[in-house]
Each structure stands twice: as C-alpha cells, then as structure tokens.
Structure 1
C-alpha cells in the first residue's frame, strides 16, 4: 500500500481488505465478488443460530462487507491502494464525491496532503545546520627534507595533521502566516587564523501557488541586501531572478543572475543560468533522475574559467546505498571523484567521496547527515596525485566503516530494535489479545464449514491440511510451538481450500487472513503447512509475504523429513 497519510503503531493492527477476501491486489471486480460470495457462505450471520456465534459472525461479516464495498468501487479502491483505510476515513467521501477518474482522485489527494503538510510545518520552526571542517593531512603522504641533521642523522618527525578552516552555519524558519515566513540565518568561519561571520534576516512571501519573492538583509563581514523572485509558468517551466549587493572591506560588489528550469517529463529536467555582471558566465544543466539512478551533465562558459562536468549515481534501494562517479574538466584542470553514501538509520546517512585531480591533489570528504543537519569533513591527503594517498584514502574509510558497523552500530541497532519490539508488544498487548479472541471466535464459526470441506476433499482424495503453524518458527525444540510467538492456523487454511487448491495473495501479510492474527509484531514470520493430497504427505514453508500455492509436486516429503518443530503422529 503506497504512501499512507500518516504511519503509527496502530497501522499494524489494521485489517487488509485484500487479505480478508483472500485475493490479490490485481484482482478483477468479478474476482472480488466471487471471493465475497464464497466467504459469505461461511460468515453470514443468518448461517448461525447460536447467539454467540451469530454475534461473532456479524463482526467479521461487517468487515467483509466493508472490504467488498471498497474494492468493487473504482474510486474508493484507488484511495485505499494509495493511502489505506485511514485515507478513506480522512478524505474519502469528499474526494470521491467531487472527482470522476482515478487520476483526479490522486491529484486531489496530493493537494490535500500538501495542505496538511503545510499546516503541520507552520506549527514549528525548521532549524538546519551545516558544519564544514577542513583537515590538512598532507604530511602523511608527502615526503619532506628540512635540511637539518643532528648527531643521529636525519631527525624523524611526526607528521602534522591540522585543521585549516572551519565553517558553521544555521538557519531557522519562523512561519508568520500561511503566506509569510521569516528566516534567520547566521554563519561563522575561520581560515588560517582569520575569522569572519554574518547574520542575515530573510522575508519570504508566497505570491500564489505558482510564485514567491524573498528579500534578505545581512550584517557582518559581508553586509548587503539581496532580492530573489521565482515564478512557475505553465506546469513545467520555472523562472528565477536573483540580484544582490554586497559590501565588504574590498568595496561594493553587485551581482545579477537569472535562470530557467524546464521539466520535460517525469525523468528529464533542463536548467540554464546566466550571471549577467562580471565575472559573467553561462551555465547549462541537464538532469535525468529516476528511482534507481541519476545522470547529470553540466557545461559552464565564463570569463574566469570554463568547464564540463558529468556524473552518474546508482541507487541500490534494497541496501539503502548509492554510489556516484563524476568527472570535471576545464581551464583550471581536471578532477575525478567517486563516492558512496549509506543510510545507517531511519534519519542518518553516512558518505565518503574521494577526489583526485590536477592541480588540486587528493582529498577525501566524509559526510554525515542527521535529519536537517549536515557535517562535512574534507581531508586533504596530498597536494599532488600520489598513488599511496589514493590507495589508503580509499581502503581505510571502507575498513573503518565495516569495523565500526560490526562492533558498534549493529549491536546498538539490534539492542534498540529489541527494546522497540518489547515496547510495541507491551503497548499493543491488549489489542493483540483482542485480535486473538476474534481469531478464535472465527475458527469456531469455520468448523462446521471446514468439516464439510474435509468430507468433500476426502471423497475425492483431495487437499487436506494436516498441520499449519504461523509465526516465529523455530526448529530447536518442540516446546517452541507452545509459545505466544506461534499459532495453529490449520482450520483457517482448510477453510480457504476450494476444489483441492489453496492459493493466497502475495505481498500481503497472512496475519490479516480470517482466523489468523499477528503473534509477534515486528518480527519475521513464516507459515509451515503439512498437508495430504491424493493420500500422500506434503509439506512446505513460506515467508509471511510470500504467495501460497498448494498442492505442488515438489512439496512431497518422507516422514523422516518432518521438521523437528512439528511433532505429528503417524498417518493411519
């Protein structure tokens, strides 16, 4: 389910409509109706005379009816697929009543979410911090000769590593109204013993949904005033105009630049920027961006210098890793860079980039992002291109990362995860027990129907579920099955058997199947099934989100192959 409006712990206990009806997310309207009709034969309240069973049947049937109503309605189904049950509760009726097509529904929801996010952002400031610490470690790799000897010959000197410059900046957004925002910004810098600093106040006003204007006044080492204007023309074209006037000890320096940005399609974007006053330059940029890769090509033509720059970034989403290779060449020389960035926690990214060029030398830059705070540490390894500096600058960060990850980060995250699981279990304990009672009540409702199902399957030598265990399976001891981490789902699975076949949808948790519940929230779960088909024993184990399709020839087993965590009597 894509892009829920807002995630919380209760979401894991929400019913999944597709799992309730035991259908795939690609199911047609006819398949939805068939599934609803089949389940109604078991769970319709009129099928049960016992007052307790009738009440339990009413509870589940209301869920099935709601799932059916949503999934057969094209508009409501789009909302549910995008934003889940909370989407239907929040904006569903309002959107559906005003729109006609799925694309219009999506557009409306995106607008609602944007407005909701804007209201949320107006409730608090948004501090951003950037720190840059430049380290000079050239003496580690560059040879030197001080020309001085002592009684022992050439004196051995310890390489000197020092900080050549530091720069710290921070900005704070202060929303005034829905259209006006004040931004406070300060910057402190120190380089080679000389310090500087500025304090700036910016007023930003949204002229409409398509434009904005900013006015900034700064005080300190570089005082001045600047004006920025941005405007959307059409859906894909953005115009920018910037001008500023800086006052320093060197005099007054004005600047004026303007630019255009055009989005060709969902992947391609082009930009052009012209710095009108001296030193004049014209910069063009072409960007291709997708979920898995990014390609950038830039050309800069200027009076002071010109260059060509290109880069390629590959994103490995399954590992939360991205790698980048770039080349920059121009009148100043040439630089090649390669780097990697890894998402280490939900809010933190760690990266390293090696830069090798002439005449810039060799530099490795370490970067840490934590929310809206960034720390960058460029370490100058050599002023010239030295193979040893490239080799060690590449290997040492990689080895250090894996060592720290293995010895410090992984144990810490594992401990945090365990604490979070314990917390969730304690917070959701009452609700889980309620789901357990509901599942047990549903199993009671199923038994008569399941008994008839078994009789039919027995006569045709069809599919009979002997044992089905769901949860955190363990093969260490038989007693593991008696813990709260595993549940017996033999009856609920048999209830899904139709014409000697059992199929469950993929990419949905089996905990939402009627008669199931989640016995170990947040932990990896599996489903073990031992079944009989044509008087032959089969078995299989599948992951929680994996599709179940039985019977299959490859599931045939010998009795001695029975997993040690299943203790079943011999078949007679």
Structure 2
C-alpha cells in the first residue's frame, strides 16, 4: 500500500521545512536567485552585486550528500547517504573508461563524508567551510601540529561536540585578539598648529573684510607615543612552572584563552609639546658705498618645550578572586571580584601617581548594574596636600542610553590645625616654586546623558579612545545607517561651569545590517563581508555655553578612506586662537593633526564662520559625487564583467562534470527505479532544473536555460521517498550544475506513484518532499 508522508493539500505545507539559522547556509541560499527576477542584469543592485561576487565556487558538503543542515543530520543519515553514493561512484565498480572520472567524484564524496562524520571537523566546517577545516588541521592550525590542541595537555579529543565548540570559539577569539593587539600595540600622535591668521584682515573705518593668500607659520607642536605589552607574572619572572599529572611542565595560563584575554598589561607613554618661534636678531649691514643699516633678521626656527610627560600605567582585571587562596580570597580584597583596576605613575613633569578601580554593582537582583569608578591620586607631595579623590557613577538606561554623574575633590591643602600640629616635625608648607610649577586641580561636578546608536560607537569615540580604558572588549557592533548620537553634559566648578551638547550622525550612507568589528563571538563566527556601498561621512557638531553665556562651537567630519585609515576636517572657534580649521589623519592608533588658525577671534563674524564651513563642505561634496562615486561605479562594472565572464566559462566545465556523474550513476539508478516500479513506489519519470523566463515578455531577461536532471533526482529517492531540504544548494547536488548563474531557477519533477502521475515545482529556496497528494495531476 503506498504511503504518503503527509496529507496536506497545501503545497506550502509540503515544502514547509524550517528556515536554517546557519549564517553560511542562509547566505549561500541567497546566491541562487534574485528577489526580483524581473530586474535587469545590466543594472545590478547592491544585493545582486554581493551575490555575484560571493557566488560559491567550493562544493557544499551537505548539498553534495543531499543532507539538511537544520536539524543537523545524524551519523546514520550521513553513513546512509555515503553508502548510497558509494554504490554509484566507487572506482572499482566502474568500467575502465569511467574510472578516472569516478575516482575524482569518489574522492570528493569521501572528503565530505569524513568531514561531516567527525563531530569536531563538522563544527569547524559549519563555521569556516572546507578551507577552514584544511587550515585548522594542518601544521600551525588549532588542531594541527604545533597548534593549540597539541599544546593543551588536558585532552581536546575527549571533549564532546558542545565543549569542543566552546573551546574552538575561545581559541579563535584569543587568536583574533592577538592579531588585533599586534596591529594597535603602539599609539602615536603628532599635532602641528599653523598660524594663517594673515589670510583675513579687516578695515575698521570702511567696515570691510579682506581675504588674501596667507603666510603660513608653525606656532606650536605636540608629539606623543605609547605602547603596551603584557605584564609578566611573578611566576614567570622567577621561572616557576607547575608540573601536570603526566609530568610535563606547563605554565598556568598557557592554554586558557579566557585567562590570556585578561592578562595584566603595562603601558608606557611619553609626550612633549610647546611653541615654535622664529627669534629676531638685530644685524648691521654695510653697503659698498660705505653706508650702514641695522635690520631685524629672523633666526632659524626653535622649539620651546613646555609640556613634557613620561610615565607608565598598569591595567589588570580581577577574575576568579573569590575562589583563590591567600590574601585576595578574603574580605575586603575579595570585593574586587569582577573589578578592573589601573595604576598610573608619571616621572615628568613631576612625580605623580593615580589609581583607578571600576566595578559594576547591581543594587537589586535582576536590575541593571551601576558602574562605580573610583579615582585617587597624589599630584603633589603627601606632606603638602591631600590626595585628589574622584567618583563616577554610570548606569545604562537602555541599549545605547546611559546617564552618569561624576565628582572630583580637586587639590586640597592640609587643614590649618594639622599643619600647626605637625609643623615641628614635618614642613607642610607649599613653596612658591612648587605652586607655580604644579597645576592646581579644581573640584568639579559633572552630570551627563549619552544616547549612542544601538550597539555601536561613534567615530569620534573611536578616534579619541582613552588609553586608560580597562579591558575594552574586542567585539563591538557598528551600524551602517544614520547612527545618530547625542551627548549632553552639565559641569560646575569654582572657576565656572557650562553646558555642552554633542550631536553626531552618518551622512551619505544607506540603511544596512549591523556589522561586527570582531568576527568571533560566543555564538559563532560572523565574517565581515566587504562593504560595496559608498562609505559614510561621520558628522560631529559640538556646542558649549558658558556661565557668562559665551558660545563656542566645533563642526567636524571624518570619512574612512581605506580599511584602517580615516581622514577628517573640522572647523570651530577657540577662545585663545579664534577661528580654527583642523585636518586629521588616523590609522590604527597613529594620529596626525594639523590645526590651522585662519582668523583672529576679534574678526570672527557670522559671515566668516559660515564661509569657513560652506566652502570645505561644497568642495568635498563635489569631489565625492564628481570623482569618488563615478570611479567606484566604474570599478564595480569592471569587477562584475570579470566575474560574469568567469562564471560563464565555468558552465562548460560544470556541464561536462555533470554528464560524467550521470553516466556513472545511471546503471545503479535505473535498477533502483525498476524495483520501485515493481512495488508501485516512487518513480521519477522526468526532472528539469534551470531558468524559465516569465510569461510577460516585457519582464523577460532572456531565453530559458534548462537541463535534464532526471537521473540525479532519481538517485535521491530512498525507501520510496524523495526529500530535498530547502537548505540544499540545488546546483551543487551530484549531477546538477547551474545553467544560468544568478537567475531565479526552478526544479520541476514529474513522478509516478501508485500508478498516478504527479508534478511538483520548487524554487532554489524551497524544499521538496515526495510523494504528496497536493502534487497529483
């Protein structure tokens, strides 16, 4: 008696497989056809361009064996598919003229089987593909000779699939972190201020403003450099190692990626800054006629160093403190569990030490934590003034919404009665030289609100990232859309106070999916696909209002010009320099900044400020839309044409391989179909796969391109059923090939079951289950 796997009359139910959650599977399914089959091939959208450039060249092992990714196939399913294909493609079972072709097909099938039947290899294949499996099992890979698995003596081979997945993700995250650290191990900055105020002059009597070619004079400079390195532990310094159970010597943290990620680091930094001056000197000139003249002559440029700093900071994250033995396992030091700390010391311009401790504390279970950051430091001698204290409390209201409040005590001298009490023993007075050389910090209170794009950081925050940040995670998300951000801050001190507002957003960008700066997370692997759209310009507008209602502003725009490089242009008003235009360059922590003073403060007016903003903006827009984008469109057209030619050349090769596979499996498949016919089972009478043009001639994109896949489809029939999961890339099934790359294709199957004729049609993103009553003709 024929049996049907389902009784639904709805074809959607017949093909109703659950959508795969695997990133690679879903991305590959999107390559087989367009969302809009009526679009013109000569005017490809961004999605079409991505599908064309990411068209798969490697064989998908699941599709090769006819298996579904979701739910994962069992070992029995994999072995059954392998045995079925072995009957058709084993070289020993083929005639002499087909053995070479059978050998090639069989090697590919065996490689797919050996990869999917091994839980560890299958885990890596699902993340990185076939090339990733070969790389990680070769020398230097995680599982190869000299890799992380070999170094870890407590066996990776004994881990179950879930444990191995976690271990592999931790290993890949540690490897990625090491690569990122090597790129930004050092940071340098150069700032050269240029005085071009001679460009604008004014005639007060006639009320005219004149613009002329300026005389550029360097006025000040600032140079800074820092680098960080892991801080060795006392065990490493003393050469102490521990013996494992099997007698091998091994460092405690060598094989734990999580511990390596929070290893203590030390950062060394140095900076110098000051003025650049051309000193004048009087010189006497004698002429041939005997006359003399005294003139002032400019001497060579000299550098005056005013701000010099030299110091180092140590950063450490306290993890698993409460479980350790010794001093840190007891109160109050056990309270440091989960905290991050840093200690910074300066030798120049005067000895200074500052300590920072940050810890997140949830006031009530289930609520968002408050982040307390405590700062203290000695900026003067302990015998002359009290240490400076500071406390900041931060709380996240929502994703990307944060409020904070901070307080700093400022520099405070010892109370008078303590000075009188200890003056016979220790001189607590402050010398005049010390007062003049060491700046006095004022007490200050700040309250602020930050609204950032969800899961992202602004370009300015990335550029000006504080080197004192502790344990900054590698994985952060960056939105491609407008990514609007707000920051409002109110501050007050004995010197005054003010209100500052910062607004930022992306311009010339499109609404796109979020992208990860880190490719590895605890969930899996998220490769960063190449962004083919025009890069956005990050606009930042900052405005400040003082207690005396004085207004200051600054407008800046930055744009990514290559993978790791950004350039920017800013215009603003500074109290001591007037109207300033700045040009910046940033690459992997190396910064160059050129602030150019173009107008003295007394001459700054609304018209001059508007002109300083509009002219650079109009120039950039002309360059962006007149040069950059046309050049990018031309590059894309050339890349598309080249890729299309490559795909067209592959059609003939794929056709020949498909025909060889059909010749190899024909005899075995025909015998199986004959048995199905005798038992009244499922018999594939005809199957076609390819591009069928729409009936509407206006929307047609060419003639039909269809291939006969009767034998390959019949080879998939198992125990009277045909199941093709929706995740399977149909043109990678053995015996198939893609006759019309990137065009929407259909699979049509005519079959006989129970003496009745049936027909089913399925697109590239649809699954097939036969027999079904809904297919009855």
TM-score tier by shorter-chain length is: 0.5 to 0.7
Q: Does 1:515 align with 2:735?
A: yes
Please point out which of 170, 182, 194 is paired with 2:219: 194
Local SS of the residue matching 1:340: strand
Local SS of the residue matching 2:747: strand
Structure 1 pair 301–127 and aligned structure 2 pair: CA distance change class (3 A): closer
> What's the counterpart of residue 343 of structure 2?
241
Q: Is contact 2:683-2:714 (8 Å) kept?
A: no
Q: Does 1:327 align with 2:487?
A: yes
Local SS of the residue matching 1:378: strand
Q: Is contact 1:132-1:375 (8 Å) kept?
A: no
> What's the counterpart of residue 688 of structure 2?
467
In 2, the alpha carbon distance for the partners of 1:128 and 1:225 equals 15
> What's the counterpart of residue 557 of structure 2?
366
Structure 1 pair 18–47 and aligned structure 2 pair: CA distance change class (3 A): same
Rg larger in 1 or in 2? 2
String of CA shifts for 1:24-56, please: whole Å, max 9, x gaps. 212344473375157437634279442333443
* Deviation of the 1:364 alpha carbon: 3.7
Q: Is contact 1:315-1:321 (8 Å) kept?
A: no
Structure 1 pair 124–364 and aligned structure 2 pair: CA distance change class (3 A): closer
* Deviation of the 1:100 alpha carbon: 0.9
Q: Does 1:260 align with 2:400?
A: no
> What's the counterpart of residue 766 of structure 2?
547
In 1, the alpha carbon distance for the partners of 2:178 and 2:107 equals 35
In 1, the alpha carbon distance for the partners of 2:67 and 2:618 equals 47
Local SS of the residue matching 1:328: strand
* Deviation of the 1:244 alpha carbon: 2.3
Please point out which of 534, 537, 549 is paired with 1:350: 537
* Deviation of the 1:18 alpha carbon: 1.3
In 2, the alpha carbon distance for the partners of 1:467 and 1:535 equals 16
Equivalent residue runs for 1:472-511 within 5 Å: 475-478=700-703, 481=705, 491-493=711-713, 495-496=715-716, 499=720, 501=722, 503-506=724-727, 509-511=729-731
Please point out which of 249, 261, 272 is paired with 2:373: 272
Local SS of the residue matching 2:375: strand
In 2, the alpha carbon distance for the partners of 1:90 and 1:492 equals 32
Q: Does 1:417 align with 2:639?
A: no
Q: Is contact 1:43-1:445 (8 Å) kept?
A: yes
Structure 1 pair 19–536 and aligned structure 2 pair: CA distance change class (3 A): closer
In 2, the alpha carbon distance for the partners of 1:327 and 1:124 equals 30
Q: Does 1:102 align with 2:161?
A: yes
Q: Does 1:67 align with 2:97?
A: no
Structure 1 pair 214–327 and aligned structure 2 pair: CA distance change class (3 A): closer
Q: Is contact 1:130-1:374 (8 Å) kept?
A: no
In 1, the alpha carbon distance for the partners of 2:616 and 2:84 equals 58
Structure 1 pair 104–550 and aligned structure 2 pair: CA distance change class (3 A): closer
Q: TM-score scaled to structure 2, two decimals?
A: 0.49
Q: Which moved more, 1:343-352 or 1:254-263?
A: 343-352
Structure 1 pair 124–541 and aligned structure 2 pair: CA distance change class (3 A): closer
Local SS of the residue matching 1:26: coil
* Deviation of the 1:227 alpha carbon: 1.3
In 2, the alpha carbon distance for the partners of 1:491 and 1:363 equals 70
> What's the counterpart of residue 311 of structure 1?
451
Equivalent residue runs for 1:203-242 within 5 Å: 204-207=229-232, 209=260, 210-220=263-273, 221=305, 222-234=307-319, 236-242=338-344
Structure 1 pair 531–436 and aligned structure 2 pair: CA distance change class (3 A): closer
In 2, the alpha carbon distance for the partners of 1:396 and 1:491 equals 69
> What's the counterpart of residue 80 of structure 1?
125
> What's the counterpart of residue 197 of structure 2?
none
In 2, the alpha carbon distance for the partners of 1:322 and 1:212 equals 36
String of CA shifts for 1:484-505, please: whole Å, max 9, x gaps. xx87656534544565755333
Q: Is contact 1:268-1:288 (8 Å) kept?
A: no
In 2, the alpha carbon distance for the partners of 1:451 and 1:14 equals 29
Q: Does 1:283 align with 2:392?
A: yes
Q: Which runs of 5+ in 1 are unaligned?
A: 4-8, 136-144, 163-189, 557-570
String of CA shifts for 1:526-554, please: whole Å, max 9, x gaps. 32334447757765544xxx23336899x
Structure 1 pair 540–44 and aligned structure 2 pair: CA distance change class (3 A): closer
Q: Is contact 1:324-1:339 (8 Å) kept?
A: yes
Q: Does 1:443 align with 2:653?
A: no
Structure 1 pair 550–86 and aligned structure 2 pair: CA distance change class (3 A): same
In 2, the alpha carbon distance for the partners of 1:446 and 1:418 equals 41
* Deviation of the 1:229 alpha carbon: 0.4
Q: Is contact 1:238-1:262 (8 Å) kept?
A: no
In 2, the alpha carbon distance for the partners of 1:285 and 1:218 equals 30
Q: Which has the higher strand share?
A: 1
> What's the counterpart of residue 570 of structure 2?
378
In 2, the alpha carbon distance for the partners of 1:194 and 1:530 equals 77
String of CA shifts for 1:240-295, please: whole Å, max 9, x gaps. 22222443xxxx58462423356999x98946252535675323445699xxx644
* Deviation of the 1:15 alpha carbon: 2.6
Local SS of the residue matching 2:67: coil
Q: Is contact 1:466-1:490 (8 Å) kept?
A: yes
In 2, the alpha carbon distance for the partners of 1:457 and 1:445 equals 22
In 2, the alpha carbon distance for the partners of 1:215 and 1:270 equals 27
Q: Which runs of 5+ in 2 are unaligned?
A: 1-21, 25-52, 138-142, 150-154, 195-201, 234-259, 274-304, 321-337, 380-387, 409-442, 457-476, 492-497, 511-530, 576-606
- CA-atom RMSD, angstroms? 5.8
Local SS of the residue matching 1:84: helix
Structure 1 pair 411–509 and aligned structure 2 pair: CA distance change class (3 A): farther
> What's the counterpart of residue 292 of structure 2?
none
Local SS of the residue matching 1:85: helix
> What's the counterpart of residue 298 of structure 2?
none
Local SS of the residue matching 1:207: coil
In 1, the alpha carbon distance for the partners of 2:226 and 2:452 equals 37
Equivalent residue runs for 1:122-137 within 5 Å: none
Structure 1 pair 52–269 and aligned structure 2 pair: CA distance change class (3 A): farther
In 2, the alpha carbon distance for the partners of 1:334 and 1:490 equals 72
Structure 1 pair 104–128 and aligned structure 2 pair: CA distance change class (3 A): same
In 2, the alpha carbon distance for the partners of 1:306 and 1:126 equals 32
Q: Does 1:40 align with 2:85?
A: yes
Local SS of the residue matching 2:407: strand
